[in-house]
Amino acid sequence: MLLLAVIALSFILIHNYLNLLYFRRVLPAKREHWGYYAISITLNLGIGVISSVFNLYNIGIFMFTAAMAISFYLLFQVSRLQIFFMASLYLFLMDTSRGILVSIYVILYGDSIYNIMRPAISYHTLLGLSVLTSALLYLLLGRRITPASKMKQLVNNQEQLKFVVIYLFILLTYIRFINTGHFMEIRLSWFSVLYGLSCIIGKLGLYFVLHHTIRVSSLLEYEWYSRQLQEQLERQIQHYHAYQNFIEGFRSFKHDYKSLVGSVKLLLQNQETEKAIKLIDEIQDTMQKNILEYKMYSDHVLLDAMLQDAANFCEQNHISFSALLPMPERIGLKDMDAVRVFSNLFKNAIEACSKLPDCSKRFVKITGHTSPDWVYVEVINSFHGEIKTMHGKLRTTKPDKDSHGVGLRNVTEIIEGLGGMVLIDIDQKKNIFTVRLHIPRMAED
């Protein structure tokens, strides 16, 4: 029996390790040190030992679930909904795996579930096998249906995650209700078949629901990216028209330049100084109107297009705007990622300013510079003073959280994925919000 208990605890250790490793790829880490992971696994093993010693068949799995919830809270930056999802998912997979195995065991031996689970040897055997089954199902089906990259989209979509949590809650309530028959010592074979089929159908239903909600989350994110691309295309078209007007104005001025200079010379030779000065003033006015109208904010074409759009919006909304981004054409970001990063930063800064009732306090300042290895960008803006946080993370103040709560999170994921840094500084006294990007240029290779 001791050997079976050790084997069962070993399976629990492996299962919890795989679980934490999987969600480490899904969720942003709160603590990276290996010691916290060791504490988490030790906590789960301690729960396993207590369940084995006292044969806690009915409440042991809830204790495991609570331990996993604590682990998720300690290790990852998660909301309450995400913790509830991950903990209930762990409970459901473990409970249904054990339910299937118990039902098979009962049908083979023709006894009640209660009598079969009372001996410690049966309890440890079924516990170990249920944990092993959950781990194998994760390896065989989980990676294909719910890979970490797709699960990340689901856990960040609040509406779809709520749907999965409600589904899990209903199924768990139903299965735990059937589970009460264990303690009534029901020997009817149809009860065991019902219990086993409920667990099997519940598992299949869960994989279907996860597949569906992940697909919906992917489509919603794709739709969001498509909107970003459409907006960027419109910016580039506006940028092209502005540049075209600049070129046409310059050509027109160049065409008249020689005759204008000749006229100035002739006036000066005839000592008609006042007329010459007046003509020079007219030339300068023409340059201001037709040529210098186009203001370049960056020598990076893509960034300049976005900054032109931001400048136009700020002018329309009475926001003081200044920008100077002398960037090389290659800055360590793919064009799509550059659109996602800078459009989010600029849009967030402008929208925050727009909420200020006093127009004189609205400003956006964008600067940047480069070194041989890094690109540095700083976006500073005033804001109305309302900042929402959850577990150390900024939260959107907009009601449509699925559409708007992805801005800074996406920026952070992209930059940190390249090995860079995103630093956020909030001055609550002065109501100034600052975002600094450190982008490694080596990423462009």
The DSSP call for residue 271 is: T
Whether residue 304 sits in one domain with residue 205 = no
> Residue 379: which of 435, 298, 438 has the closest Cα?
435
Whether residue 190 sits in one domain with residue 333 = no
pLDDT confidence bin for 120, thresholds 50/70/90: low
Count of the separate structural domains present in the chain: 2
DSSP state string for 355-394: T-S-GGG-EEEEEEEE-SSEEEEEEEEE--S--EEETTEE
**Average pLDDT along the chain:** 76
Q: What is the pLDDT of residues 312-343, one digit of tens each?
A: 889 888 999 999 988 877 777 887 788 888 88
Top mean pLDDT of 137-146, 306-315, 328-337 is at 306-315
Whether residue 179 sits in one domain with residue 39 = yes
Residue 71 lies in a domain: yes
pTM, to two decimals: 0.57
| Domain range enclosing 76 | 2-227
Q: Which residues contact 123 (CB under 8 A, 6 or more apart)?
A: 52, 55, 57, 117
Q: Compute the distance between CA of residue 251 and CA of residue 247 in angstroms, rounded to an integer.
A: 6
Residue 238 lies in a domain: no
Q: What is the pLDDT of residues 258-270, one digit of tens each?
A: 677 777 777 777 8
Whether residue 158 sits in one domain with residue 62 = yes
Among the three residues 187, 202, 227, which one is the final residue of a domain in this structure? 227
Whether residue 185 sits in one domain with residue 52 = yes
Residue 52 lies in a domain: yes
Whether residue 156 sits in one domain with residue 42 = yes
Whether residue 350 sits in one domain with residue 203 = no
